[in-house]
Amino acid sequence: MAYVAVKGGEAAIAESIKRLRYERLRERRTIAVKAIRSGLRALVDRVMSEASLYAKELAALAIKQAEGNPEEATFLLRAYRSTLPRKYYSRLTSMGSMFVERRISAAFKDIAGGQLLGASADYTHRLLDFNLEKETSANVRAWLAAFQREQEAEKPSVMPRVELPRVTDILRSEGLLRRMQQDDTAPRDITRQSMTFPAERSERLQTLTRGESGAVVALGYAAIRGYGLAAHPTVAALMVGRVAITIDYPLGACDSDDEALYLGQVRVTEVDAIIPAAKKGQGGKQEIEIRLGYGLCFGQNESKAIAMSVLDYCLEHPIPDSPVHDEEFVLTHIDSVEASGFISHLKLPHYVTFQSELDAARRINRGER
Amino acid sequence: MNKYNFAFFDEQSKREIRRALLKAVAIPGYQVPFASREMPIARGWGTGGLQVMLAIVGKKDVIKVIDQGSDDSVNAVSIRKFIQQMTGVLETAETSEASIVQSRHRVPEVPLTGEQILILQVPIPEPLRETEQSELRAKRLHAEKEYSGVWLSLFEQIMKYGCTATGADHPTMVHERYVMSPSPIPRYDNRRLNDCAALILFGAGREKKIYALPPYTKVESLAFVDRPFVSESMHGKICRLCGAEGVFLDESVQAAGAGPFYECNDTGYCRQRQSSKSRLDRGEQSGD
């Protein structure tokens, strides 16, 4: 028996893919993966965060292939991630050990350890810089040399290594922020086991951190604007920095970090947001308690991390009938691959399902039973 | 392509899906959650069906992939090509030659046998979603076999329109226990799920659910005694290519005034009928 060869759509698809390639190349210039990695840092960070895969080189490649479309680049990385076995889980990473590059607190004018502005567009005026049109490598080299001289002149010969105190610890010592029980429950891995509702906090945090930036920001915004908590959270601390990732020695758990295997470091954005809420004190007296919302994501994604902290708070403290406090509403709609996938599937042919609907409409309109 | 594993996934991932499949077969119509990997095709484009396919396909399998009844549809081509690239298995457009058929929203016209597996792609696996948005509450309703919501929505349609107004995806009762979405197959296909000789697997990638109908499972379309279930009307319509009657036909519109024409929706079935017809016309003996 001969197997029937399938033809038809195949040729059209091949031509469409060819056309896509042509659109990327038609200007006769292509962008190097290296250039994307160094020059499109914010996009690389965003894509790594949404793909939940910390790999700058691969993210840059995905961005190149996707012609800069973050939705498509995230999709490529996630699909690649599916082919990789999960071999290890990292050891706990203490955020206190972060190599801090930026740390600001909106809660206090001054904080122990100081406000470190780091690199941020927050303090720029958003005026198009037309000089960048003519940026040459000679310009760049000269600017860098001057920058380095300036740094060396100001740098102390030995940088003291200090652990910055956490702003939330200050509030805790005053009893304003509740001291929480250490929770060492092993997190559920949402990439290995699908999330079920009610979700555990670990599942919520994983889903939020890989959420699509725009979606997370939009829902976080809705929450503080009035569709939900309607309180103004205060950023106790926003930190951008690098943390080391270690795993247990494969032949057995380690007792200390010194015995663990060091894999490398990841840059993250971390946010502690504090939100005042009413609580019943002793004897039924109304008191104000300060509660915490937590945001953490790969790369420097500050709006996303702040919005995540708001949503983490919202989901920890549900309010009936508020969509942003409803974990099913938030967690099932913020994933880039899922949302864009289902929206884009509307482009697929639906003539069978449509005809079935048409049949029902005609039958009813003819008055048949 | 040898940079990728056989059937794309690592073995752990396949095992996880197979476990969900076994559970699904053991509890017909029950939606089993599974992790659902991201695939190289978009979520909503058949990733559930594709993951089920990749978890069960073996080197000797012959696969057929159809989308809305057609082997040539771009999405069917794309999925088939991907499976083929990742496994090297043979492909076919003839239902009877395939050991695994992956389909979006149709059950092939040629009756399936006990040697075959049908995989249906599912967009919304939860038949209660229309009346109950919450996963948690819907799960509870299934556990308690509390299906008043679905019955009421059918009843409301009868009150409003005089008959049920469902298009594709008319809810079914599986083995007198679970209400199940048959996936958006036309109502015509609902009865063909009942007592089917083949194993039928349903995969919903975005919603991360797998469910199944083992061979010869009782599948009833929900209906009232005095308002029986009605399939799409194919009465008096004939395929203009092969002359088939009583099968699911696609309606195509022509210029105004010319009236619609009909062709078999199942292109593989239609092609097979056309070629055996032309053989008969030429006076050749049919193969069997």
Tell me which of A6-10, A88-92, A170-174 is least confident. Answer: A6-10
Q: Could you say which residues from 321 to 350 on chain A have a Cβ atom under 8 Å away from some Cβ of chain B?
A: 328, 332, 337-338, 340-345, 348-350
Are B182 and B277 within one domain?
Answer: no
User: Does residue A185 contact residue A201 with C-beta atoms inside 8 Å?
Assistant: no
Tokens encoding A41: 């840092």
Q: State the Cα–Cα distance between residues A198 and A208, nearest whole angstrom.
A: 15
Are B188 and B209 within one domain?
Answer: yes
Q: What is the pLDDT of residues A139-162, one digit of tens each?
A: 999 999 999 999 888 877 666 666
Please judge whether B4 and A83 are an interchain contact, meaning their C-beta atoms are less than 8 angstroms apart.
yes
Label each residue of B187-251 as H, E or C.
HHHHHHHCCCCCEEEEEECCCCEEEEECCCCCEEECCECCECCCCCCCCCCECCCCCCECCCEEE
Q: Among residues of chain A, what percentage have pLDDT more than 70?
A: 95
User: What is the total count of domains within chain B?
Assistant: 2
Checking if the pLDDT of A272 tops 90, the result is: yes
Average pLDDT (A38-53) is 97
Give the mean pLDDT per block of 10 residues along chain B (288 residues).
80 94 98 93 93 97 95 90 95 96 96 97 95 93 97 94 90 97 96 97 96 98 94 91 94 79 93 85 58
Are B52 and B187 within one domain?
Answer: yes
Average pLDDT (A159-180) is 78
Average pLDDT (A35-52) is 97
Tokens encoding A215: 């979606």
Q: State the Cα–Cα distance between residues A212 and A345, nearest whole angstrom.
A: 18
Please judge whether B77 and A369 are an interchain contact, meaning their C-beta atoms are less than 8 angstroms apart.
no
Checking if the pLDDT of A6 tops 80, the result is: no
Are B214 and B243 within one domain?
Answer: no
Spatial CA neighbour of B251 closest among B232, B277, B275, B231: B232
Tokens encoding A40: 């499109």
The H-or-E segment that residue B11 falls in is: helix B11-26
User: Does residue B234 contact residue B76 with C-beta atoms inside 8 Å?
Assistant: no
B122 in a domain, yes or no? yes
Out of B39, B74, B250, the one facing A79 most closely (by C-beta) is B39
Selecting among B205, B239, B257, B287, the annotated active-site residue is B239
Task: Among B178, B193, B221, identify where a domain stops.
Answer: B221
Q: What is the pLDDT of residues A348-362, one digit of tens each?
A: 888 888 888 888 888
Are B152 and B98 within one domain?
Answer: yes
Let me know how long chain B is: 288
Average pLDDT (A1-10) is 52
Task: Among B192, B221, B250, identify where a domain stops.
Answer: B221
Using a CB-CB cut-off of 8 Å, the residues of chain B touching A73 are none
B73 in a domain, yes or no? yes
Out of A1, A4, A82, the one facing B93 most closely (by C-beta) is A4
Please judge whether A197 and B94 are an interchain contact, meaning their C-beta atoms are less than 8 angstroms apart.
no
Please judge whether B44 and A345 are an interchain contact, meaning their C-beta atoms are less than 8 angstroms apart.
yes
Checking if the pLDDT of A123 tops 80, the result is: yes
Average pLDDT (A334-357) is 92
CA distances from A127 to A40, A121, A220, A369 (A): 19, 11, 27, 67
SS3 at position B45: coil
Out of A7, A85, A190, the one facing B12 most closely (by C-beta) is A85
User: Does residue A271 contact residue A295 with C-beta atoms inside 8 Å?
Assistant: yes
B132 in a domain, yes or no? yes
Are B147 and B284 within one domain?
Answer: no
Range ranked top by mean pLDDT from A216-220, A245-249, A363-367: A216-220
Q: What is the pLDDT of residue B285?
A: 55
Spatial CA neighbour of B204 closest among B75, B17, B73, B40: B17
Q: Could you say which residues from 85 to 144 on chain B have a Cβ atom under 8 Å away from some Cβ of chain A?
A: 90-94, 97, 104-106, 123, 133-136, 139
Please judge whether B45 and A341 are an interchain contact, meaning their C-beta atoms are less than 8 angstroms apart.
yes
Selecting among B48, B49, B242, B268, the annotated active-site residue is B242
Task: Tell me the whole-structure pTM to 2 decimals.
Answer: 0.86
Residue B106 belongs to domain spanning: 11-221
Q: What is the pLDDT of residues A230-244, one digit of tens each?
A: 678 999 999 999 999
Residue of B174 and A254 predicted with greater confidence? B174
Strand ranges for chain A from DSSP E: 99-104, 234-247, 261-280, 286-298
Spatial CA neighbour of B212 closest among B36, B51, B30, B54: B30
DSSP A299-320: SS-HHHHHHHHHHHHHHHS--T
Compute the nearest-CA separation of A257 from chain B (Å).
29
Q: What is the pLDDT of residue B287?
A: 46
Are B122 and B239 within one domain?
Answer: no
B173 in a domain, yes or no? yes
Are B151 and B205 within one domain?
Answer: yes
Determine if the peptide bond prior to B108 is cis (ω within 30°). Answer: no
B227 in a domain, yes or no? no
Checking if the pLDDT of A195 tops 70, the result is: yes
SS3 at position A54: coil
pLDDT band at A295 (very low <50, low <70, confident <90, very high): very high
Q: Reading across the β-sheet that carries B178-180, which strands appear in turn?
A: B178-180, B172-174, B219-221
CATH number of the domain encompassing residue B144: 3.40.50.11310
Are B92 and B191 within one domain?
Answer: yes
Q: What is the pLDDT of residue B288?
A: 45
Out of A9, A83, A353, the one facing B72 most closely (by C-beta) is A9
Please judge whether B35 and A194 are an interchain contact, meaning their C-beta atoms are less than 8 angstroms apart.
yes
Task: Among B221, B248, B268, identify where a domain stops.
Answer: B221
> CB distance from B9 to chain A under 8 Å?
yes
Are B203 and B238 within one domain?
Answer: no
Indicate if B163 belongs to the active site: no
Q: What is the pLDDT of residue B209?
A: 97
